[in-house]
Amino acid sequence: MNYIAELNSFYARLLTRPLSSEAQALWSVLMHLFNRAGWPPRLTLAASTLLGFLGYSYATLSRARGELVAVGLLVHTPRPGRLAPYYELQPLSGKAVDKSVDNPVDKPRLTLVKPICQS
């Protein structure tokens, strides 16, 4: 995944399909963890890991995760017993996985603030 392309696509999507702030924060943490892991197809993540980043209650984490699953941004696969579940982020930008270090930064497609011209 291209980190910048995914961020741009996510925030562009929020303009027409809003998410709760908790779901937005969870998605951002998941993006960070997938990026740190080198973009594997799925990650095993304990709730305690996510809660450490987010500072939520388990119930709030569950609601945010359910929201991301419901809108198709995340696949969550529970495992038996006390095993940590699998998480799979669903790409938004439609681009293939690019693990190169020197890939160019994508230009945003939206201009939310007009630059001020100085004389």
Q: What is the DSSP string of 18-70?
A: ---HHHHHHHHHHHHHHHHTT--S-EE--HHHHHHHH---HHHHHHHHHHHHH
Enter the DSSP assignment of 15.
T
Tell me the pLDDT tens digit for each residue of 51-106.
999 999 999 999 999 999 999 999 999 999 999 999 999 999 874 444 444 444 44
User: Residue 92: left if φ>0, alpha if ψ -120 to 50, beta else—which one?
Assistant: alpha
Task: Categorize the per-residue pLDDT at 1 as very low, low, confident or very high, splitting at 50, 70 and 90.
Answer: confident
Tell me the pLDDT tens digit for each residue of 4-59.
999 999 999 999 999 999 999 999 999 999 999 999 999 999 999 999 999 999 99
d(CA 65, CA 67): 5
